[in-house]
């Protein structure tokens, strides 16, 4: 059976393949997420309004690779470094690939690569590019659960990948959520 395009926009297309309908992202070679810890042991989080859910969402720094003209072959690690700086204003002392996997295997072809960043230091403002309005938070790792509860109480949503970031942070930084070592 062939894949049928049911609809197409500037960034995505809806397809049907063997009776299954799903979304494909266009004009990108990958997606990156960064679990970034500062030199002080803070987890870097971002918050921005997300029109599909009609709310501000607390997320990890993330973005697309290969979506810029002339940079279609951008390495995922380069995209991770670029997105971390662009969204948070931080650069990391060390960056390592942690894992990759589907974001929503029943809805989208997207596969995300997660990077861990250690020793991040602030070198700029962050806040995203000219199309974004991103607020940046550097939260002590042990305070992240309380911080997330406060943001939710204030009307924000939390991307569940943030909770997974606590597990990754424990593994690659030697710190445990809740402040224990």
Question: Could you tell me which residues come within 8 angstroms of residue 167 by beta carbon, excluding any fewer than 6 positions away?
Answer: 177
Assigned domain for 111 exists: yes
In a domain, 180, yes or no: no
SS3 59: strand
Q: How high does pLDDT run on average in the chain?
A: 91
Q: Is residue 37 part of a domain?
A: yes
Q: Total structural domains in the chain?
A: 1
CA distance 31 to 59: 14
0.85 surpassed by pTM: yes
Q: Six-digit token pair at 57?
A: 């969402």
Q: Write the CATH number for 159.
A: 3.90.79.10
Assigned token pair, 30: 């990958």
Tell me if 12 is assigned to some domain. no
113 pLDDT higher than 70 = yes
CB count in 10 Å sphere of residue 65: 23
In a domain, 15, yes or no: no
**Can you give the length of the chain in residues?**
181
Residue 130 forms part of a structural domain = yes
Q: For residues 142 and 144, give the distance between their C-alpha atoms in angstroms, rounded to a whole number.
A: 6
pLDDT at 178: 45
Judge whether residue 134 has pLDDT over 90.
yes
Residue 98 scores a pLDDT above 90: yes
pLDDT tens digits for range 37-80:
999 999 999 999 999 999 999 999 999 998 877 888 899 999 99
Name the residue range of residue 84's domain.
29-173
- Within 54-153, residue ranges assigned H as helices are 76-88, 144-153
Tokens of 62: 């993330």
pLDDT higher than 60, residue 5: yes
Summarised one tens digit per residue, pLDDT across range 141-172 is: 999 999 999 999 999 999 999 999 999 988 77
Given a cut of 70, whether residue 173 has pLDDT beyond it is: no
pLDDT band (50, 70, 90) for residue 130:
confident
């Amino acid at each position: 059976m062939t894949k049928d395009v049911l609809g197409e926009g500037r960034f995505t297309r809806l397809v049907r393949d063997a009776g299954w309908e799903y979304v494909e992202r266009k004009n990108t070679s990958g997606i990156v997420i960064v679990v970034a810890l500062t030199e002080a042991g803070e987890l870097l989080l971002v918050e921005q309004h997300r029109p599909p859910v009609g709310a501000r969402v607390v997320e990890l720094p993330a973005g697309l690779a290969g979506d810029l003209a002339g940079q279609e072959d951008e390495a995922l690690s380069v995209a991770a470094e670029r997105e971390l700086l662009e969204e948070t204003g931080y650069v990391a002392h060390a960056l390592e690939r942690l894992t990759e996997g589907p974001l929503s295997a029943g809805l989208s072809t997207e596969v995300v690569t997660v990077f861990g960043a250690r020793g991040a230091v602030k070198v700029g403002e962050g806040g995203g590019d000219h199309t974004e309005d991103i607020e940046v938070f550097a939260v002590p790792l042990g305070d992240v659960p309380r911080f997330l509860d406060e943001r939710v109480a204030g009307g924000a949503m939390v991307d569940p990948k943030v909770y997974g970031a606590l597990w990754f942070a424990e593994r690659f930084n030697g710190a445990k959520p809740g402040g224990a070592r």
